[in-house]
């Protein structure tokens, strides 16, 4: 390398894999680098340890180096693969934040009567007796009802009924695979390994887990940012991995968002939403181990308190009494989504609790930042993120 060949800050890519053994890494191929990124940083720390020896001089002494950690911060856009059987480019990263996925299905339907079907509600089918859970709020005029199967097998002829909304619809064909829905888990968490490549050099992060946030403005795509902590497993000089083909599907945007509160219930409310924000608030702690050369084994998520914030125009109490809901600790179902042709993402939970609603001013309109703490119902079900086609 010469002074005439500087390293370029925008020449970067990241590869991610799920580890078969926590903290042990693995090998990377071109397909592991598919995540489209807008920012990437990997900060290494070696926890310097002071020499506290007393002596006749105040001159400092050489430091010893302690645990070798690395924090990876990477941001991109929230988007699915656009293919029913292909997991989204965010799959490894969400799993590294303590999430797992299940297959989603869709049923082609005619009219929705008495709807909408609410995201998170249980559905049942006559005759087959199959049950499922809706993963995208479905209104009259929608061509598909999206759900995950809880039990049995849905057929393509008999009426489907929503357990809480009372909505009904009849499928016109046997339901088919339609993507994947992710939810947090407590047990069987998975760690990830990452190879961070930066124009001629690389760093390795093993045993990583972390947190993620999502932010979006009305009519725009969502930015998702991951902060992942692991052990620093090496570095070197090398050309960027070749043959990488990033996903090319269009980003879904915050339009036709279905940003319902209490969808399908008598208290159903559709606020005028200006922006949305989500913070998983996962606490990822790197486990210590003196037997390892880095002083660490791998990270583990030890807690989470997911929070959704909707910035919406203020409404009359008669329309939706936010303060009463907050004072009574009422449960509020909430969902919102992003849309592009054959590429939808829907985020929802059925047991939200309003914890604050500060007022604001946006372009002269009165607003509230509606803050929801997402609580579990049966455990590991407080929040769902569905990638659908």
Give the rounded percent of residues in the chain with a pLDDT score beyond 70.
99
**What average pLDDT does range 21-43 have in this prediction?**
97
- Statement: residue 246 has pLDDT above 80: no
Buried b (16+ CB within 10 A) or exposed e, 92-130: bbbbbbbbbbeebbbbbbeebeebbbbbbbebbbeeeeb
Work out the number of other CB atoms within 10 angstroms of the CB of residue 224: 23
Total residues found in the chain within this entry: 389
Report the pLDDT value the prediction gives residue 65, as an integer from 0 to 100.
92
In the chain, domain spans: 12-47+63-98+185-237+244-388, 102-182
338-342 contacts at long range (C-beta below 8 A, 24 or more positions apart): 338/78, 338/216, 338/221, 338/222, 338/251, 338/252, 338/253, 338/254, 338/255, 338/257, 339/252, 339/253, 339/255, 339/256, 339/257, 340/79, 340/249, 340/250, 340/251, 340/252, 340/253, 341/250, 342/82, 342/389
Say which CATH topology domain 102-182 has. Elongation Factor Tu (Ef-tu); domain 3 (2.40.30)
H/E run at residue 232: strand 223-237
Q: Tell me, what's the pLDDT at 115?
A: 84
CA–CA separation, 46 vs 58, rounded Å?
Answer: 24
Confidence check: pLDDT of 233 > 80: yes
5: confidence class by pLDDT, cuts 50, 70, 90: confident
- pLDDT score of 223 more than 90: yes
Q: What is the pLDDT of residues 252-302, one digit of tens each?
A: 999 999 999 999 898 999 999 999 999 999 999 999 999 999 999 999 999
Average pLDDT on 294-315 reads 97
33 three-state secondary structure: helix
- Across 189-206, average pLDDT: 97
- Structure confidence by residue, pLDDT tens digits, 163-196: 999 999 999 999 999 999 999 999 999 999 999 9
Mean pLDDT (the chain) is 96
Q: What confidence tier does 213 reach under pLDDT thresholds 50, 70, 90?
A: very high
**pLDDT tier for residue 250 given thresholds of 50, 70 and 90:** confident
Question: Is pLDDT above 90 for 201?
Answer: yes
Strands 223-237 and 201-217: antiparallel
Of residues 234 and 115, more confidence is placed in 234
Summarised one tens digit per residue, pLDDT across range 103-138 is 999 999 999 999 899 999 999 999 999 999 999 999
Q: Taking the CB of residue 65, how many other CB atoms lie within 10 A of it?
A: 11
pLDDT of 12 strictly over 80: yes
Q: What are the tokens at 317?
A: 């109490």
Tokens encoding 5: 């060949």
Q: Is-cis flag, bond preceding 116, omega within 30?
A: yes
With bands split at pLDDT 50, 70 and 90, how would you rate the model's confidence at 245? Answer: confident
pLDDT band for position 2 (cuts 50, 70, 90): low
User: What are the CA-CA distances from residue 4 to residues 1, 7, 8, 10, 140 (Å)?
Assistant: 8, 10, 12, 17, 62
CA distance 368 to 358: 5
> Does residue 30 sit in helix, strand or coil?
helix
* Per-residue model confidence (pLDDT) at position 281: 98
Report residue 137 as tokens: 């709020």
Q: How far is CA 148 from CA 113, 134, 182, 262, in A?
A: 21, 7, 11, 20
Quote the CA–CA distance of 323 and 308 in Å, as a whole number.
Answer: 17
In angstroms, rounded to a whole number, what is the distance separating the alpha carbons of residues 44 and 294? 12
Q: Whole-angstrom Cα distance, residue 228 to residue 322?
A: 35
Distance CA(262)–CA(12), nearest Å, equals 43
pLDDT above 70 (res 1): no
């Amino acid at each position: 390398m010469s002074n005439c060949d500087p390293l370029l800050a925008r020449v970067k890519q990241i590869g991610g894999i799920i580890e078969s053994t926590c903290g042990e890494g693995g090998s990377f191929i071109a397909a592991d680098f598919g995540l489209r990124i807008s920012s990437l940083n990997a900060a290494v720390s070696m926890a310097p340890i002071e020499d506290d020896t007393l002596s006749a001089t105040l001159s400092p002494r050489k430091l010893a180096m302690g645990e070798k950690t690395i924090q990876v911060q990477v941001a991109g856009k929230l988007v699915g693969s656009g293919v029913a059987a292909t997991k989204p480019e965010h799959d490894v990263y969400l799993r590294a934040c303590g999430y797992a996925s299940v297959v989603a299905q869709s049923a082609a339907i005619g009219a929705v009567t008495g709807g909408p079907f609410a995201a998170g509600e249980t559905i049942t089918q006559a005759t087959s007796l199959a049950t499922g859970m809706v993963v995208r709020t479905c209104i009259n005029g929608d061509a598909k009802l999206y759900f995950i199967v809880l039990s049995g097998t849905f057929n393509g002829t008999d009426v489907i009924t929503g357990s809480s909304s009372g909505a009904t619809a009849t499928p016109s064909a046997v339901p088919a695979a339609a993507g994947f829905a992710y939810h947090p888990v407590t047990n069987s968490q998975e760690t990830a390994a990452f190879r961070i490549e930066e124009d001629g050099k690389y760093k390795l992060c093993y045993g990583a887990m972390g947190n993620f946030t999502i932010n979006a403005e009305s009519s725009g795509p969502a930015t998702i940012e991951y902060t992942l902590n692991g052990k620093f497993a090496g570095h070197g000089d090398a050309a960027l991995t070749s043959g990488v083909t990033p996903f090319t599907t269009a980003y879904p945007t915050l339009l036709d968002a279905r940003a319902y509160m209490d969808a399908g219930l008598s208290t159903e409310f559709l606020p005028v939403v200006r922006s949305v924000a989500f913070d998983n608030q996962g606490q990822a702690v790197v486990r210590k181990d003196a037997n390892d050369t880095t002083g660490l084994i791998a990270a583990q998520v030890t807690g989470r308190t997911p929070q959704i914030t909707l910035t919406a125009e203020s409404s009359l109490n008669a329309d939706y009494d936010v303060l009463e809901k907050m004072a009574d600790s009422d449960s509020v179902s909430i969902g919102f989504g992003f849309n592009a042709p054959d590429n939808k993402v829907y985020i929802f939970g059925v047991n939200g609790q309003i914890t604050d609603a500060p007022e604001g001013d946006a372009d002269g309109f009165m607003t509230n930042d509606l803050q929801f703490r997402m609580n579990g119902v049966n455990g590991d079900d407080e929040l769902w993120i569905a990638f659908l086609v």
